[in-house]
Structure formats: C-alpha cells, structure tokens
C-alpha cells in the first residue's frame, strides 16, 4: 500500500478502474470459454445421433442403387423405401434428400409438427426447408465431404448432418438428417449472446466514462496546481470556478487567498500607522523647536518697528519679515496638526450647515477666481454627524481651495451631500485638468506634492482628520476631466428638523 500511495493520482485511478472492471471481464471470459462448453456437449450428443442416422440411410440407399442394373431404380423411391422405417424409430428427426440433377427435394419426418398438409403447403414447406439448408447443401456439393451444421429458423435452432451420395465417384445427391435443438438451448444461446453484448457495451462505456472522469479530474487538478503557483506570485489571482468537490476546493483556496490579502493589508495599515505615529512625534518636536526662533524673529521685527521708525524703507523690510513669519507659523501649525491629530471637542452638527459656513467664508475667494459654484442648498434635509466643527471645516476648506487652484476661469465647482446607508457622503468636484494616474496612489502621503510652493501636508492632514472621525476619503480623477474628492463620515441622525 505505501507503494500504491506513492504513485500519481492518475495511476491510482487507473488501477482502481481496472480492478472495478475486472469482475465483468472475468464473467464474460467465463461465459465464452467455460459456460459455452455445456452447449458443446449437447451439440456433440445430437450430432453423434444424426451422423449415425445419416450414414445409415446413405449406406442403405447406395447399396440399393448399386443392386439395380444400370441404376435404373428412381432415387426418390429408394430413399423413401429406406427412410420410412427409420422415421418411426426416430420421432422428431427429419430426413431429407436433395437430387442434384433434378433439383427436387424429398422430406420425410417432422421436427415438431404432424398432420396432413395441402399440396400448396407441402411445396411451401419444401421451399422453406431448402432455403434453410441451402448453404449446407452447397458446401457438401463443393467439397464432397460430410459436414455438421447448426442452422436456425425464424424462431428456433436445429442441427443437421449432411452426407454426399456418390455413385461411381460422382455426387448425385445430398442426404441429411436434422433435429430441432431443445428450446432452452436456443433461448440460452440468444440470452448469452445478448448478455455478452451488454457486458461488452457496459465494459466499453465503463472504460470510456472512467477514462473521461480520470482525465477530467486530472485536468482540474492541474488547473488547481497551476493556479496555486500563480497565487504564490500574485494573491489577487482567482482560481476558476469548478463543479463538485473541486469547486469547493477552489472556493476555499480563493477564500484563503482573500484572507491573506486582507491580512497583508491590515499589516500594511498597521505599519503605516506606526510609521505615521513615529513621524508625528518627530514632526511635533521639530515644530516646537521651530516655533521658538520664529517667535523671537516676530518679536524682534515688532521692536524694530517701534524703535527705528525714522529709518528709510524700514516698513517695507518689516512687512517682508511679517509675511515670512506668518508663512512659517502656518507651516508650523500644519506640522502640529499632522503630528498631533486630536479631534478636540465633539458635538452634533448638520453637515449641510457646516458646508454652507465653509462656502460663506470662502465666497470672496470663489468670486475672485471667477469660478461658478454649483451647490443646490435648497431642499437639503439635515444630515447629522458627530465631530469637531473646526477640524471638519479645515478639511472642506482645503478641498475647496485645491479645487479652485486646479481650475481656470469659468470652471465649475460642484458640491453635493447625501446619505449612503449609515454614512454621509460629501462630494467636492472640479472641472480642472485632473490628477495624473501615476500620482493618484500618493496624493494622501505626507510631503508628497507636485504643486509649486506646496508642502504636501494639506491632503495628508485632511485624511488624518477624517480618519479620527471614523470616516474615509477617496479621490476619482480622469486626466483632462477634473477630479472628485468624496468624504464619508458616520451618520448620527437623518431627517431631523433641528440640531441640538
């Protein structure tokens, strides 16, 4: 058995099929080579009896014909005179004579029927019997030797012994004796023949079906084997669906692959979170270190403005210092927001009212750029969320400013909000040039920017704020057709009339 288990599945299945088909093959072999021996014994006994009768008639007829000078005695009369006494001793045996010269046939005795017949019936009987024995008669005339032959009628079988009647080395007639085989013999023979064909057909179908099943199974196994090799290189590859148990195996493998993908994604998210936390600590420390000298520079500029008012162009230099100090203070605040994400005070609010307040604050900028605003505020039902209003305003302000910067004059800024299941989805869509496909995976990464003068923290901070509110942010963009940012936040309460 260990040797058998070491073989390939194809070999194992072939061995099992061979063993399963061995029994019908053995039964067919037994029927052909052993069961048929019983029929041979029965045929041999009947043939021996008919040979004795045919030889007896042949010898007596030949003797009678030779006793007449010139063979003037009619052949039919001699045959009838010799055969009549024998018919009484052998009921069920039919003895016949075929005259080669005249083509006439003489029949004495019956196989299984008695009684007188009309002349037309006798002629029909002679014709039928001649047709049944014609092959044997022709064989005897051609060879000149006696033969035994198993013939059949439309519903039975008979055995006949044919002997050539020769006078002066010339065959003048054929004498034969025949007897009907037992009905059981005919039925048994037909049944065995049917059984042989059935067994042979079943045997062939069994082999064909087994081989088809084996090769189909092996083919599916090879598909699974090749699929697992591809899965080693790419977990996103899915094995094709299959019927039956193989289908259950492929489904289990695909499910396992999806689980590994999810596990890798979770591990990747965990690593990213750890890296962001570490980066946040570093950024916070750097921002604190930067804030002190910037504050000193700002204080020195203010002191210079008070104590050295008479110096020429001093105001111009002070304004430049203030602008740079303001720029660096903004950068420091952004670094602190990214490195120290804190939702702050949480309260219930209507997201539509929050968007209106952001649009109101940015209305001068929108009017200045000549961008058309598409925000159908009428008919909006309250969509209540929980969060920090200032933090969320920062998110939408950043998205709106980015959209305005991405568009030329006469562009369209579209803002929509709606409930999606247990989430509130806010869409900010522009008609700008869009984001190149190679940049899309990285736009939420810290310090990643393609914008002149940008620091790459705006979208990263937006994502951090949305995540600490339990939501998500995604982007859809087609080069040349604009971009759409979708912010999803957990829905606290829908279709309320007021927000407490």
| Sheet containing 493-494: order of strands | 347-350, 383-387, 493-494
Topology of the domain covering 245-339: Helix Hairpins (1.10.287)
Query: Which residues are 416's β-sheet partners?
Result: 427
Q: Tens digits of per-residue pLDDT, 110-149?
A: 765 555 667 777 788 888 888 888 999 999 999 989 999 8
For the residues 57-68, what does the mean pLDDT come to? 86
3-state secondary structure of 72: coil
Query: Which residues are 418's β-sheet partners?
Result: 425
Q: Can you tell me the distance from the alpha carbon of 497 to that of 25, in angstroms, rounded to the nearest whole number?
A: 86
| Residue with tokens 């990747």, as numbered in its chain | 268
The helix (H) or strand (E) run that includes residue 244 is helix 244-307
Residues in the chain: 500
Per-residue tokens: 322? 């203030």
Q: Give the pLDDT score at 53.
A: 92
Residue pair 97/76 in contact by the 8 Å Cβ criterion: yes
CA–CA distances in Å: residue 89 to residues 53, 350, 372? 11, 123, 128
For the residues 312-341, what does the mean pLDDT come to? 67
Position 14 pLDDT exceeds 70: no
The answer to whether the pTM exceeds 0.75 is no
Domain 347-494 maps to which CATH number in 2.60.40.10, 3.20.20.10, 1.10.260.40, 3.30.565.10?
A: 3.30.565.10
Topology of the domain covering 2-191: Beta-Lactamase (3.30.450)
Q: Tens digits of per-residue pLDDT, 265-302?
A: 778 766 766 665 666 666 666 655 565 676 667 677 67
Q: Give the pLDDT score at 405.
A: 85
Nearest residue to 420 via CA among 330, 350, 486: 486
For the residues 330-345, what does the mean pLDDT come to? 63
What is the percent of the chain where pLDDT is above 90?
14
Contacts of 76 (CB under 8 A, 6+ apart): 97, 99, 104, 106
3-state secondary structure of 287: helix
Per-residue tokens: 305? 């403005």
| Residue with tokens 């929980």, as numbered in its chain | 386
Q: List phi, psi (to 5°) of 171.
A: -80, 115
| Residue with tokens 């400013």, as numbered in its chain | 401
Give the angle 222-227-228 at the CA atoms, nearest 5°.
100
Domain ranges of the chain: 2-191, 245-339, 347-494
Nearest residue to 395 via CA among 339, 492, 478, 471: 471
First CA to last CA across the chain, in angstroms?
Answer: 79
């Amino acid at each position: 058995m260990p040797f058998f288990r070491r073989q390939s599945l194809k070999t194992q299945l072939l061995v099992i099929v061979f063993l399963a088909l061995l029994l019908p093959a053995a039964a067919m072999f037994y029927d052909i080579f052993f069961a048929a021996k019983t029929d041979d014994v029965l045929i041999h006994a009947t043939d021996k009896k008919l040979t004795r009768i045919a030889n007896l008639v042949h010898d007596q007829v030949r003797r009678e014909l030779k006793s007449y000078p010139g063979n003037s005695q009619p052949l039919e009369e001699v045959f009838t005179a010799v055969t009549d006494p024998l018919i009484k001793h052998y009921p069920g045996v039919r003895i016949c004579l075929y005259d080669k010269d005249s083509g006439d046939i003489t029949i004495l005795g019956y196989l299984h029927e008695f009684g007188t017949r009309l002349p037309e019936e006798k002629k029909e009987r002679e014709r039928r019997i001649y047709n049944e024995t014609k092959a044997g008669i022709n064989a005897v005339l051609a060879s000149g030797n006696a033969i035994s032959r198993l013939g059949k009628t439309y519903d039975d079988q008979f055995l006949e012994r044919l002997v050539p009647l020769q006078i002066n080395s010339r065959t003048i007639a054929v004498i034969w004796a025949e007897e009907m085989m037992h009905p059981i013999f005919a039925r048994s023979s037909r049944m065995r023949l049917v059984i042989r064909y059935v067994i042979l057909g079943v045997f062939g179908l069994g082999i064909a079906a087994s081989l088809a099943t084996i090769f189909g199974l092996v083919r599916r196994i090879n598909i699974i084997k090749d699929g697992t090799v591809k899965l080693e290189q790419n977990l996103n590859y899915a094995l094709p669906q299959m019927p039956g148990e193989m289908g259950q195996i492929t489904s289990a493998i695909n499910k396992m692959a999806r689980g590994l993908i999810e596990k890798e994604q979770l591990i990747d998210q965990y690593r990213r979170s750890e890296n962001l936390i570490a980066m946040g600590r570093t950024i916070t420390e750097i921002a604190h270190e930067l804030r002190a000298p910037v504050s000193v520079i700002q204080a020195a500029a203010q002191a210079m403005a008070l104590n050295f008012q008479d110096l020429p162009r001093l105001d111009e230099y002070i304004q430049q210092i203030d602008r740079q100090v303001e720029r660096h203070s903004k950068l420091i605040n952004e670094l602190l927001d990214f490195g120290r994400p804190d939702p702050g005070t949480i309260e219930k609010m209507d997201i539509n009212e929050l968007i209106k307040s952001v649009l109101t604050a940015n209305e001068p900028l929108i009017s200045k750029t000549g961008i058309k605003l598409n925000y159908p505020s009428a008919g909006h039902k309250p969509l209540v969320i929980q969060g920090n209003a200032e933090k969320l305003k920062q998110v939408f302000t950043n998205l709106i400013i980015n959209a305005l910067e991405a568009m030329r004059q006469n562009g369209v800024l579209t803002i929509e909000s709606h409930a999606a299941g247990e989430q509130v989805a806010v869409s900010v869509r522009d008609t700008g040039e869009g984001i190149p496909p190679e940049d899309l995976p990285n736009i939420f990464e810290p310090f990643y920017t393609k914008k002149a003068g940008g620091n790459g923290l705006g979208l990263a901070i937006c994502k951090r704020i949305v995540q600490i509110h339990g939501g998500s942010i995604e982007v859809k963009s087609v080069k040349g057709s604009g971009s759409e940012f979708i912010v999803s936040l957990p829905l606290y309460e829908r279709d309320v009339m007021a927000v407490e």
